[in-house]
Structures are given as structure tokens and as C-alpha cells.
Chain A
Amino acid sequence: MSSLDTHAGAAPQLGGDHHGSYLTSKGGLWADIANWATTVDHKKIGVMYLTALLILFFLGGVMALAVRFELLEPTRIIVNQAGETVTTGQRLAFLATDGATASNIYNRAMTLHGAIMTFMFIVPGIPASLGNFFLPLMIGAKDVAFPKLNLGSWYVYVFGSLFALASALVGGIDTGWTLYTPYSTMTDADHWRLVAMVMGVFIMGFASIMTGLNFVVTVHKLRAPGMGWFDMPLFVWAIYATAIIQVLATPVIGITTLMLIFERLFNFGLFDPRLGGDPVLFQHFFWFYSHPVVYIMILPAFGVISETITCHARKPIFGYKSVAFASLGIAAVSFIVWGHHMFTSQGELTAAIFSFLTFFVAVPTAIKVFNWIATLYKGSIVFNTPMLYTLGFLFLFTIGGLTGLPLATLSTDMHLHDSYYVVAHFHYVMFGGTVIALLAGMHHWWPKMFGKMYAERPAQLGFWLVFLGFNVTFFIQFIMGAHGMPRRYASYPDEYQWMHLISTVGSWMLLAGFLVHLFTFIHSLLQGKPAGANPWGGLTLEWHADSPPDEHNFAHEPIVKHGPYDYDTVVPPHCDPADYPLPENPHKH
């Protein structure tokens, strides 16, 4: 980190070359629509991705609310006071048509929640939205390496999502998002719905590969003069590691989904025991992609946290290289642990090996968490919304990570697997980790993206509702699962009801929190105060650009002269030194 004062590279080549902000209207609604629909500007594509993702997040969230609503009470067949036998519970019955029961609707909502949230929201998630917008800015580039491919990926993603959602419109599927065979190949007579969903997943895989490939090349070839690999912001490192996984893992889900379609349409037999196939083989294929994919989901979140924690605590990151290499380490380990999803369906030795390997994931992950906490030490912490979400992330992700260890341990996993404990663990990592980090990043970068500040007080109210609502919803699920409540069931014995009740009330708090955020964001777009180029005093290159950035990002090609986290030695760009006094004894690192 000491080589940050590099002056390599040529002098600025371009004169002041202002085009106006990327948000500037091209004159008229239709001209703007045509401009956005055909744009190759990574910033617009990032905003388009963010919009699509939030719409799908909303749909997936509605499905989750439906699931929690059904689980508010179990299905009971009782004899009432009049002596009639009646069925209570079945709260989703009002949605049921043509012979479906409330439980059928529940199964479809549960499947769609999982499929939308994983394949359509959280996998593209942070890289496609914030990554698209900020990766080029943070390395001082004008765009990603292949701008047209970038636009193409957005269309492919939207097309794939529509394909998958079409299956929901014609009745939905009820296999769970994991599409396990033989269930996915044998049930549901109208198999076109399943084929549509699987085709959607196949198509969206291309979007993911396009994004990943683009970002790898961008990081290799478009860094600004003076930016060596170890001068890159950690968000860039995280996106880079993610992009490598996207390129290497996604083809496997491609072939898996193709084989599943062949299986469904022609009974190929590869996954069908009646024809000599093996359903567990499908699980191996599926998890060979879908385990690495959880790091596609979480690594970008780590990147966001490294940015927000340094900027809002005004401290250099503790252990830059270890955080950077931990990203690559996680990416590497992610490919050899998929078998931990089949502990109960494989040989003991195999299970023991996969268990052993799985524990390795904890090492680079814990390194990061320790580094972030050490970064906070003696920092000037500003308790604004991005920082609150960052601290929330540290808290929730730590719970999520530590509760993974009993699942990696064979003996405890025998008890906990396929229970609500797994659901809780997964949500603490994916929601408590990725979604919380996305919210941290959205608040942190919102002023840069749209040039407007959001209202701090309401946003903090949103944080508390989301944070508390999340814990109310999911913490109880650890207990429920440890007491034997299996995941995915539409009904349950009476003993569990009080815990489900708490969980469902929590889901309503979450809804309230997201509505508050929706309000603050819309309010900011309409009436937000102008942000200024660098409202937080950030040091990474995007804060050198205007807010919102110029169409070509920077007026001059930036030359990197300070590190991304030199908060103890450098006055932030566009800032008054009086507002950001440097410490008298800069902590040399």
C-alpha cells in the first residue's frame, strides 16, 4: 500500500470535454426512451439493471409475504361448536382456482420466492447494478470493456426473467427453487411451465456470463494510469473475484438445465432411476454451480462493505491485501465444497471430505470480518444510513456465518438439515449479508448515481424497521428448526405456531421498512437536495467525478496519485480541508 503515490502513465490526454450528466434528457420522452433502450453507457445499464432487480425483488418479496401469511396458522381439521367438521388455516385458499388447494398455492409461492430471489434478484444483484455503475468509475475508465455486450446482457436477463415469470402466470411450478429430480421431471402434468422456468434459468445464465466476462476484461485492461492491482478499491477486487466465479460456474448450470429439459421432454434418463439414471447426480450438477453461486451473491456485498466502512469511519482499511486475497481465496474454495448439500445422500467418506473442505470457507470469510472490525477501531464513525447498514451487516453476517458451522459438521447436520435452521442460516447470510450490503451501497452511492441526497432521518427509520424486522422474522427460525420444524411445509403441529406467528409479524415489519426506503428514494429523486460531487468525503475515484457523473465519466482521464483508503493522509477531492481534518500523526501502514 505504500506504492500508492505512483505517477505512472501519461499526462492527461484530453482537454475539458464536458458532455453534461448521463441523466441529461435527449429532448422528449420518446427520444429518452430510445436513448436508454439502446444505450451502451455502463451507468445507464447499471440503473436499468437496478430498476429491473428492484421490481423482481418486490415480486419475490410478495411471494415471501404470501408464504409467511399461510404459515401464520397451521391447517387444522376441527369440529366446531355446531358439530360441523371444518378446516381452518388454509389462508391462501382465496387465491386457489381450478381445484388447487391453499397448500398448492403455498408450494408455488414458496418456489417462486426462491427462484425469483436467487436466479433473478440476488445472483445478478450487486455486480450488475452497482458493479456496472461503479466498477468503471472506480478504476478510472470510461466504460466497461465491451459496452454492447453489457447492454446485451441486460436484454438477455430481462428476456430470461420474462420466460421464467411466464411459468408463474400460467400456474407456476412447485418444485422448490432447486428443481430437484425426480420431482421436477415427474410431477405437474403440464410440463411446459417447468420447461419455461428452466429455460429462463438457462437464458439468464448467459446474462451472468456476459457480465462476468466483461468485468474480468475490464479490470485487466482498463485501469487508469497509475492504478496497479493493489491500488484497486476492494469493491473492484470483490467484483473481479465474483466475475471469475460467474465465468467458471455458470456453464455448469447451463448444461444442467439443458439436461433437465431433455429429461423432462424426452425422458433422457440421466437423472431418472427407472431408466438407470441417478437423481443425486442432478444434485451434484446443480450444486456444482449453486454452491459457488452463493459467493457470486455474497462477495460483491463484501466489496460494498469495504467501501462503506472505510469512508464512513474515515479509516484506512485494516489489512488491504488480506481482504483482497480473501476474495480470491473464497472464490477458489467455493468450487470444492458443493457436496455439503448432499451429506445425507452420499457415502460417509465423501461426506467427511466435503465437511472438512467446507470449514475452509470460514477462514477467508473470518479474515474479512476481523479486518472490518479492526478498521472501525479508533475510526471517526459517522452513524448515517450507509454506516448503520454496514454495522448491521457485520452483526447479521457474523450470525449467518457462525450458524453455518453446525451445518458443515456432519453430526449436527444430520439433525438440522432440511429444517428451518437452514432457512434461517441462509437468510442471515443472503439477506443479512447481501441485501443489507446492497442497501448500504445504495445509500452510500445514491448521491453519486442521481446527484441528490436522500432524507437521512426517514432512511434511518427504514434501517431500524428492516434490521429489527429481519431479526424478528428469522432469528426465531433457528430455534424452530433446532426443534424439528422442517422447511418448505405448508402446515405444522400446533407447538410451532407461536414461533411462526412471530416470524410472520417480522415479515410485516420488513415490508414496512422497505416501503419507507421506497418512499425516501422516490422523495430524493423528486425533491432531494443536490448532492455535490463528494458528500461523504470519499477517496475512491468515483468521488472525483461529478454527481451525477458526466456522460463520459471524467472530464480528464484520472491519474491515480493516492490509495483508495488513504483517509489519514489525503484530503478528499472536491472537499474543504477544514471539513476533513487529517490526523496529526497519520497512522502509517
Chain B
Amino acid sequence: MSSIHPSQGGKIDGPVLPHDSIEKGHHWRTKDDEFDAGKLGMWLFLGTEVLLFAGLFCGYAIMRMKYPEAFANGSHYLDWRWGALNTLVLLWSSYTIASAIRHTQLGNRGWATINLVITWFCALFFILIKFTFEYGPKWAEGKRPGVLFDYPYAQHSMEPMWWSLYYAATGIHASHVIIGMGLIGWLIYKNMRGWYGPKNYLAMENVGLYWHIVDLIWIFLFPLLYLIH
């Protein structure tokens, strides 16, 4: 894990911005060490995220094997087009946050901000689709988890179980999207004040990594929930 500090375009015209003068933490030998440590820490954290969702996927797999018809019915209740649209939205946002990082490395602060703002709106779009077109109508029809289930036309007695896992998996994922919106919003705020630049972009890179994992988990959830019958 070696860090990249692109030399091209490192200077920005105008006043000296905070990112030029950010010091390393007192306990680090070099800024590179600090950078690498930050990345290593983030990768470990991403490992914990994968393991958290692995537990959910495991529960899903076991219950799906026990009640294949209920789960097949369940996925028929979902409209794959909403899922596909949300997949595209997240994929696009993964691209924009990656370009925000690249623009920061190159010193194009304005473009970085624009890309971050697009990412933030993609996240918002994802959440709005999820809540207004998926959770909302389904909840109103009685397609709810566990004992809250109240859908009169259920064809299989284990459909509440399907909804439990659906809400748990997508809900925990959606909470990650919302946390990501908070983090990206914070990046936008700090970036507009000049905190990030070619020599200081670790926070942005780490949030980017987090955002990619959120995307990646959705890419597993989408086929498991929407496409497999």
C-alpha cells in the first residue's frame, strides 16, 4: 500500500488554502505512514462491513433453502425496474465520487465539489426511490415484516419471513446510504473551505471506499432480492 501523491497540477492559484499547511499527527514519522495507516484502517473497517452483511446473507440463504416458494413469491412482489434503476444510480455515484477524488489529487477543487454534490444527490435519489416507490406502497398494502404482516392475498404462510429479511437487509443497507450522505455532505462542506488538495485527500478517499462498499453490497442485494425467482 503505497500512497500516490501526483505532482501534476498540485498548485492552485489564489490564496493559501488549509490543505497546503496540514501537518501530520505528532505520533507519525512521516505523512506517508499516516496516509497508509488511514487507508489500512479503512480497509479493516470495510472488512467488518462485509462480515456484518455476510451474517444477513447467511440468514437469507438458510431461510431461502427452507422456504423456496415463499421466497420466490416474495421476489415477485418486488418490481425489478426500481431495483435496476437504483443499481444504476449507485453505480453512477460510485463513478462520481471516484472522480471527485481524482480531481482533488489533481488540484481541481471546483470539479471535485461538483462531483461530490452529484454523488450526494444520487444517494438522495436512491433513498427517495426506496421509500416512496418501494417501502411506502408495500407497507400500505400490509407487506410488512414478522407480526406486522397484514397482506390478505399472501399465497404462502412464510411470506412474512421473506418480508422480514427484505426489510432487514435493505433497511440496514439504506441506513448505510444515509450515513454516507452525512459523510459526503461533510466532505462537500470541508472541500468548499479548501481542506482537501493533492497533499491531503485521505478523508475523501476513505469516504469513497466506504461508498464503494455500500454500492457493492447493493449489487449483491439486487439480484438476491429482485432477480432470483
Contacts of B148 on A, CB cut-off 8 Å? Answer: 266
Report the bound CA distance from A209 to B62 in whole Å: 27
> Majority SS of interface residues in chain A?
helix
A142 within 8 A of B: yes
In addition to A213-B41, A247-B47, 10 A-B residue pairs with Cβ atoms within 8 Å of each other are: A143-B26, A146-B37, A147-B25, A247-B48, A254-B52, A255-B52, A259-B59, A262-B145, A267-B147, A269-B160
- Selecting from A273-281, A380-388, A437-445, the interface stretch reads A273-281
Least CB separation from A254: chain B residue: B52
8 Å CB contact of A213 from B36, B45, B51: B45
Contact status A270-B158, CB under 8 Å: no
Contact status A221-B59, CB under 8 Å: no
With known contacts A217-B40, A276-B157, A266–B55 Cβ distance under 8 A:
no
B128 within 8 A of A: no
Contacts of A267 on B, CB cut-off 8 Å? Answer: 146-147
Contacts of A258 on B, CB cut-off 8 Å? Answer: 168, 172
A460 within 8 A of B: no
Contact status B44-A141, CB under 8 Å: no
Contact status B37-A221, CB under 8 Å: yes
A329 within 8 A of B: no
Report the bound CA distance from A142 to B66 in whole Å: 54
Least CB separation from B55: chain A residue: A255
Report the bound CA distance from A141 to B28 in whole Å: 9
Report the bound CA distance from A216 to B37 in whole Å: 10
A145 within 8 A of B: yes
A268 within 8 A of B: yes
CB within 8 Å of A: which residues of B?
A: 25-29, 33, 36-37, 40-41, 44-45, 47-49, 51-56, 58-59, 62-63, 66-67, 145-148, 157-158, 160-161, 164-165, 168, 172
A220 within 8 A of B: yes
A285 within 8 A of B: yes
Contact status A276-B66, CB under 8 Å: yes
Contact status B27-A147, CB under 8 Å: yes
Contacts of B164 on A, CB cut-off 8 Å? Answer: 262, 266, 268-270
A306 within 8 A of B: no
Contacts of A262 on B, CB cut-off 8 Å? Answer: 145-146, 164, 168
Contact status B161-A213, CB under 8 Å: no
With known contacts A147-B27, A268-B146, A252–B168 Cβ distance under 8 A:
no
Contacts of A217 on B, CB cut-off 8 Å? Answer: 37, 40-41, 44
Report the bound CA distance from A205 to B58 in whole Å: 20
Report the bound CA distance from A542 to B146 in whole Å: 55
With known contacts A220-B37, A269-B146, A277–B161 Cβ distance under 8 A:
yes
A250 within 8 A of B: yes
Contacts of A263 on B, CB cut-off 8 Å? Answer: 146
Q: How far is the CB of A423 from chain B (nearest CB, A)?
A: 29
Give 7 closest A-B pairs by Cβ, nearest first: A255-B55, A142-B27, A251-B51, A268-B164, A143-B27, A267-B147, A251-B52
A247-303 interface (Cβ within 8 A of B): 247-248, 250-252, 254-256, 258-259, 262-263, 266-270, 275-278, 281, 285
